[in-house]
Amino acid sequence: MCGIVGYVGPQQATPILIAGLRRLEYRGYDSAGIAVVGPRGTQVLRCQGKLAGLEAMIAREPPEGTLGIGHTRWATHGRPSEANAHPHKAGGVSVIHNGIIENYLPLRARLQAAGRKFASETDTEIVAHLIDEALLAGAPSLVEALRVALRQVHGAYALVAISEKHPGQIVAAKNASPLVVGLGQGETFLASDVPAMLEHTREVIFLDEGDVVAVTAEGATLSDLDGKPLARPVRTITWDAAQAEKGGYPHFMLKEIFEQPRAIADTLRGRLLLEAHDADLEGFEIDPRGLRRVLLLACGTSYHAGLIGKFLIEGAARIPCEVDLASEFRYRDPVVGPEDLVIVISQSGETADTLAAVKEARARGARVLAISNVVDSAIPRASNGVLYTHAGPEIGVASTKCFTAQLAALALIAIHMGRRSGQLGPEAATKLVGELALTPTKMTEALEGLGDLKQLAREYRYARDFLFIGRGTNYPIALEGALKLKEISYIHAEGYAAGEMKHGPIALIDDGVPVVVLAPRGPGYEKVLSNLAEVRARNGHIIGIGTQGDAQLAGLCDRVLSIPDAPAALQPFLTVLPLQLMSYAIAVAKGNDVDQPRNLAKSVTVE
Ligand code: F6R
């Protein structure tokens, strides 16, 4: 997830671009850059790190010109560095991009064979070359050259390009990454999100998938990939800038909950191989045949993802998995060695305990694969390989979209290992790959169906204790539901394996203790219903999480929150959603600071 801005009009572009990027810093902040076209040709300034670094460069040599583009980066391909910062240039063409070009490696090889030199490790730079190549081959306009380039790339993009030989215009295209045009008086703007332009205009056009646009100071001309003219409605934005940054949501956490289908789709993109029924781990090959076991290490919510990873990997590859808290592993003289694969999971990539666990495992000879959302952070750097989740920056302290993106990464690893172990046959692999590909759509359906849960929150906000119970893949979700509620609503909550209730926790049940029962249809369903009956018999209040249309469950619960049907291995992607929304709604009903709960920090770099 990156931030994009563009400006053409009568004013100096640089201050407008910088103010826009400042508003988009929440989308990424590991490097930034601008390209401005003026009397001195195209001036490109780029800087690793936060925007302040770029501003200092601009103060030293302010670029002049009334047309420009700017970018704030959240690295996906290529580490955060000045060379990988956007804009990328080829010939007279400069390009900025938000998204992932899946087929950039073969395209890069073809362009290199044609004699083109690359200055970065990014997928974006190939687009600058493709546009330049099309112009040299006689494309009649910049927008047509962009179309020629787009016909060659697969993936997700919001792309914006300018060319020294085509002054006065900016061209852009959208597919699966956001892009908005802002219409001013004699000036036009482009951005990934409306906050970047709200100071200047409230009249905007939200581009749709496959839209291509040519922008001048006079306005925007829209067309499709074949050049057929398009019309899109002009909308008037009524949000203030702070609301707009949260996409109109009152909190980042809620925005991030609703971003999950996109985060999963981006994490699977280019890696889930539908036709080969396989998963590509971007160069990290795992040969399960020589492995003794897999060890999954993490803290907090990421540890819960690890618990689900055990089900996924054991289910697909039949290799024993152990899951451990990184903070425990590192201090217990662990039995680990070269015959083990260690998978460490850390959203921030900086958690001190997880980093220490990586060092411990490597010192004992194990190979370590990291799953992280932050490119080039300490944990991926200390590991042998990394599979990045593409959730985009998570601002809310309570992790939501990074958790489900971690599950997507673990599912990819499971498929990869299953195929190579010979345990996941072609038929089962086709089924799993197909179901995983459907997951983002099912998540959207679930989120749309659940509503805002305000009424439920009003009923339960004064509860002193909450219990969450589930079985199989939904036991870790019970733990995660309890953690979410504790973190942001400050209500005491416990997660239990449903079968454990009668071994102790059932003593806690009395009139009115809310018990969240994870009971989607699938293996263990009947058993969970028996556990539910035990709670009911003791007058607990039951909130059931069940499969859409399950009348039997509805008859046994005080409230039911429904999700679409899914195979057991992939149910956690869906069952966690009502729990995230419920914790959020209760925290809001209690008036708590949802995005920055007390005593917590987004990355825990102390032991
Ligand atoms: C809970 C939460 C924490 C983190 C934990 C590990 O919502 O965010 O429990 O999961 O601090 O953090 P990472 O994944 O950054 O290593």
Closest-lying ligand 1 atom to the alpha carbon of residue 354: 16
Please give the order of strands across the beta sheet that includes 367-372.
321-325, 293-298, 340-346, 367-372, 385-388
pLDDT at 507: 82
3-state secondary structure of 127: helix
> Which residue has a Cα nearest atom 5 of ligand 1?
300
Calculate how far, in angstroms, residue 300's C-alpha sits from the geometric centre of ligand 1: 5
Mean pLDDT of all residues in the chain?
93
Calculate the alpha carbon distances from 300 to 224, 310, 331, 388 in Å. 46, 16, 17, 19
- Tell me the C-alpha distance between 493 and 482, whole Å: 5
Residue from 490, 494, 516 nearest 505 by CA: 494
Closest-lying ligand 1 atom to the alpha carbon of residue 298: 16
- Comparing 7-16, 392-401, 424-433, 561-570, the range with the smallest average pLDDT is 392-401
Q: Between β-strands 321-325 and 293-298, what pairing exists: parallel, antiparallel or unpaired?
A: parallel
Contact 360, 379 (CB under 8 A): no
| pLDDT above 80: residue 177 | yes
Buried b (16+ CB within 10 A) or exposed e, 354-391: bbbbbebbbeeebbbbbbbbbbbbbbbebbbebbbbbb
Share of the chain above pLDDT 70, in %: 98
Calculate how far, in angstroms, residue 566's C-alpha sits from the geometric centre of ligand 1: 26
Give the confidence band of 49 by pLDDT, cuts at 50, 70, 90. Answer: confident
Ligand 1 in reach of 579 Cβ (< 6 A)? no
Residue from 71, 45, 69, 41 nearest 57 by CA: 45
Determine the angle formed by the axes of helices 300-317 and 474-489, rounding to 10 degrees. 170
Closest-lying ligand 1 atom to the alpha carbon of residue 403: 10
Residue from 3, 7, 331 nearest 169 by CA: 7
Please give the order of strands across the beta sheet that includes 465-470.
492-497, 465-470, 514-519, 541-547, 559-563
* Residue 557 annotated as catalytic: no
**pTM, to two decimals:** 0.82
What would the 3-class secondary structure string for 568-590 be?
HHHCHHHHHHHHHHHHHHHHHHC
| pLDDT above 90: residue 506 | no
Ligand 1 in reach of 487 Cβ (< 6 A)? yes
- Comparing 237-251, 370-384, 402-416, 485-499, the range with the smallest average pLDDT is 237-251
| pLDDT above 90: residue 330 | no
Ligand 1 in reach of 221 Cβ (< 6 A)? no
| pLDDT, tens digit (0-9, with 9 covering 90-100), for 358-379 | 999 999 999 999 999 988 788 9
Token output for 196: 């970047």
Pocket test for ligand 1, best of 253, 260, 299, 404 (most atoms within 8 A of CB): 299
Closest-lying ligand 1 atom to the alpha carbon of residue 372: 14
Higher-scoring residue by pLDDT: 245, 549: 549
Closest-lying ligand 1 atom to the alpha carbon of residue 348: 15
| pLDDT above 70: residue 134 | yes
Ligand 1 in reach of 400 Cβ (< 6 A)? no
Q: What are phi and psi of 521, to 5 degrees?
A: -65, 140
Calculate how far, in angstroms, residue 4's C-alpha sits from the geometric centre of ligand 1: 29
Q: Between β-strands 180-183 and 88-90, what pairing exists: parallel, antiparallel or unpaired?
A: unpaired
- Tell me the C-alpha distance between 49 and 54, whole Å: 8
| pLDDT above 90: residue 27 | no
| pLDDT, tens digit (0-9, with 9 covering 90-100), for 435-487 | 999 999 999 999 999 988 999 999 999 999 999 999 999 999 999 999 999 99
pLDDT at 502: 83
Please give the order of strands across the beta sheet that includes 203-206.
41-48, 31-38, 67-73, 3-8, 188-191, 180-183, 203-206, 235-236
Ligand 1 in reach of 603 Cβ (< 6 A)? yes
Ligand 1 in reach of 175 Cβ (< 6 A)? no
pLDDT at 323: 98
Calculate the alpha carbon distances from 575 to 264, 404, 427, 543 in Å. 15, 11, 26, 13
> Which residue has a Cα nearest atom 3 of ligand 1?
300
> Which residue has a Cα nearest atom 13 of ligand 1?
346
Closest-lying ligand 1 atom to the alpha carbon of residue 604: 11
| pLDDT above 70: residue 81 | yes
Ligand 1 in reach of 300 Cβ (< 6 A)? yes
Domains within the chain, CATH numbers bracketed: 3-241 (3.60.20.10), 252-449 (3.40.50.10490), 454-589 (3.40.50.10490)
Helix (H) or strand (E) holding 485: helix 474-489
> Which residue has a Cα nearest atom 10 of ligand 1?
301
Type of residue at 82:
E
Residue whose pair of structure tokens reads 């263990």 in the numeric block? 524
| pLDDT above 90: residue 305 | yes
| pLDDT above 90: residue 210 | yes
**Spatial CB neighbours of 130, under 8 Å, sequence gap ≥ 6:** 107, 111, 148, 149, 152, 153
Pocket test for ligand 1, best of 256, 260, 329, 351 (most atoms within 8 A of CB): 351
* Residue 321 annotated as catalytic: no
Pocket test for ligand 1, best of 399, 404, 406, 407 (most atoms within 8 A of CB): 399
Calculate how far, in angstroms, residue 346's C-alpha sits from the geometric centre of ligand 1: 7
Q: What are phi and psi of 35, to 5 degrees?
A: -130, 125
Q: What is the DSSP letter of 229?
A: B
Pocket test for ligand 1, best of 347, 372, 373 (most atoms within 8 A of CB): 347
Ligand 1 in reach of 302 Cβ (< 6 A)? yes
Q: What are phi and psi of 155, to 5 degrees?
A: 135, -160
pLDDT at 605: 58
Of 50, 431, 590, 602, the active-site residue reads 602
Contact 570, 439 (CB under 8 A): yes
| pLDDT above 70: residue 159 | yes
Ligand 1 in reach of 398 Cβ (< 6 A)? yes
Closest-lying ligand 1 atom to the alpha carbon of residue 484: 7
| pLDDT above 80: residue 406 | yes
